[in-house]
A and B are shown apart, each in its own frame.
Chain A
């Protein structure tokens, strides 16, 4: 309080002293107005400018990164679509080789069948000879009136009989001929069926070929778009990468679960081999690391197997191997995988035995009667299950290579896209901060003028009395 009083011009009149002090301060601030304005403005500009520069740099970096990501994405997409087109062409090639190679035979067969049908058809066209011309003569004779003469009557009867006989013979001949034609027509059926079947086959093959051609067309369209680096292609590829990333992550998480079960299955028996009391770190046992190493080796073997089978393409040296070496590699990795699976099955059995023995010894220590399993087969199910699981899990783990490849390839795009987003967001924040710094410097200038409002008003009055409205405008403008 005494310190405050020291500042007072008239210690007994605080109000007046404060007013005078404020007036003095205002005058001082008014005197320093122009340099203070310049100072605030330059600080604002310096801060805002550097922040704006930083934001611009970040935006440029983000654009460059996006461009680089796009190049990588397009290259990857081109490679992928190229491989797909190649595969489609291979498929078409196989179709053409398989189906069209046999096409001459098919055509010959078809022609032969058609010729045979034609011949048979011609045979069908052969009609039986018409009844002889003498039928009319017989009819004329039949019209002769017998007049009761027995001789004539007998002759006529004979004629009628022979005509009837001839008629029956001709009729039966005619029927036989039709029967033969029917038989020929009946014989047509298998050939018609065969022709129909052959034609269906041809149709199916042609449709398959057409479908493959359609797929190739679609892939080629995609390839063209990628080559043209269109936004649509980029968008589609980015979306695809995000989807692949999500799916691969889920599948890998499932595989991790499998690996964890596998680890639990073999960690205890591994301690029988490498000792349970050895530690690598304060919490990590050597046996656990050994179990982990076995699982990782299995995963690696699976990776090599998938690579050798050309299902994945993570290691170019393996992909570039000649077929002979590749086959050797397949057999080596498969043999190692089967061996490791066998070891795991044995370890799973060992684990079961160790646990059972521990339970038995603890029961014995407690003095409890050991429970005798009612059904031995039933008691063996968990053991068999563990062994089976131990044998199967390495093979299941081998397939992790496929989602792993997807994960690695898509993570480049996903991480790149996220990084671009992050840099842009950072750039935006810097831009906002830069604007804030500039606006704050302006606000501070106005606030400064607000503190010295009285001297400014006085200046305004003086200027208005001296030079009229022009001075007021200039002061007002500055304000």
Chain B
């Protein structure tokens, strides 16, 4: 389903390409300018994240290239702005544009990793819950019910807080990324598990599964090779919208000072740091990373909305 990713299909097989271009989804994609715009924007963010060191004019983490004399310069269109730093500089003389590119990279990385973590955990538990049934199913779904009644951000915050107090300080600095991905990932598995469980309940009674069982294929293979591909459609939709939520959660945790370590700032960290300079008039240190974050999340949300409608046969 690569055509939904808005990237031009790259497969060498012409039949596959033709099929993708002929599909309903591609048609609905071409008909919605807003979706194309958000797809292009998302793609730009992905490319920016992937090639950050090549695109950014400065390396914000290279101390040699930072000059404290350049500190707190406004964007170029304001008085005192410098053409080299078109979005201005922060209090330590780092180029805002470069820090935003690197920050978006961190935000996207944490977002993606958390979503993948959630998918693996949620889809796995959903498959098992739906296929095995019985007490195990009841237990997993009860835990899901309970978790669902608490907001995700609170759960992520608690896991992060617990990790902070369990791990020694130095070790926590080192593991902060993994703790964060774990915390955000765990706070989002329930939706996947519920959806996949529902679809699995339907699929497991179909003939192809019974046939596979009759010829003696083990349950693990049935789940992974036969049922899994047939329950992944809705997962894709949830994952797109979840990516936006995960990025917001990461930004919020980093803004609260319990997210990524300050040495590798994400967009949320940048906003937190810039927030201190709001009152002294240096608004660009916090507003530009903020705009970047909103654009990123908005684009992904719009893509997710479109994908949900496009894959929903009732709305065609």
Q: Do A and B come from one complex?
A: no
